[in-house]
Amino acid sequence: MSEHVLHVASFFAIVSSLVLLSVFFAPWWLVNDDHHPNETFQRLGLWTACFKDANVSHTESSTQCSWIYFDDLSKHNITIPAFFTVTQALFTLCVVFLILISLPALTRYFYVLEGERSKINLLFIISGCLIFSALCGTAAIIVFCAFSTEQQWVPNIEHKIIGTAYYTAVICIFFEWIASLLVFLKFLEERGKNRNDQFTLIDANDFSVYTL
């Protein structure tokens, strides 16, 4: 397995990290289906909520967004349920382990000399962090999908649908799983090579001692 495999893994990891970071802040996880004309709620992200001014006509652009923890959502009949907090926490771990740990370690790998033991250690760290990040992201999207439209935590929940940010996150996490698998396979290959080299060296030393 050549180094090109890690280049492919890096591509998937970088693309996933950039898009997931935008999805992390995008207010398009839950959106209004526009079938309820008097609905002020427009869309919701992990950290922001957007509402339409009820005093402005429907044709005018009057949507305003604010951080959910800086605004009193109770006046809009919105509560923050436990599943939403869990989704926030899991997706935060996903983004942190991908961007702040996996990518720097993956970048560092390409500057380590061939044959150094630290390359194998780096591959182990990278694959572990990518897998953990992908697991957290997978859990986050499963939790959100399972409960976001089933609980009465926003008004007129029957007129709410999962938005584009969620589906984008699903695709990116799938790419992250691909990157995780590629790096893990590379780790297994390098570890196998290292063990074979050690056994070869031991056999050579034993042969030298025997001939002496």
pLDDT tens readout for residues 86-134: 999 999 999 999 999 998 988 888 887 666 678 889 999 999 999 999 9
Query: CA nearest 106: which of 20, 182, 24?
Result: 182
Is 174 part of a structural domain of the chain? yes
- Expressed as residue numbers, the domain containing 27 is 4-205
Task: Look at the chain and report how many structural domains it folds into.
Answer: 1
Mean pLDDT, each 10-residue run in order, the chain (212 residues): 84 96 96 82 94 64 83 84 97 96 87 74 93 98 94 88 97 97 93 69 50 53
pLDDT at position 107: 84
In a domain, 91, yes or no: yes
Nearest to 158 by CA among 39, 60, 23: 39
Q: Taking each helix axis from N to C terminus, what angle separates 117-147 and 164-211, rounded to the nearest 10 degrees? A: 150
pLDDT for 82: 95
Is 210 contained in some domain?
no
What's 173's domain CATH number? 1.20.140.150
**Is 48 within a domain?**
yes
Residue 211: inside a domain: no
Does the predicted model carry a pTM greater than 0.95?
A: no
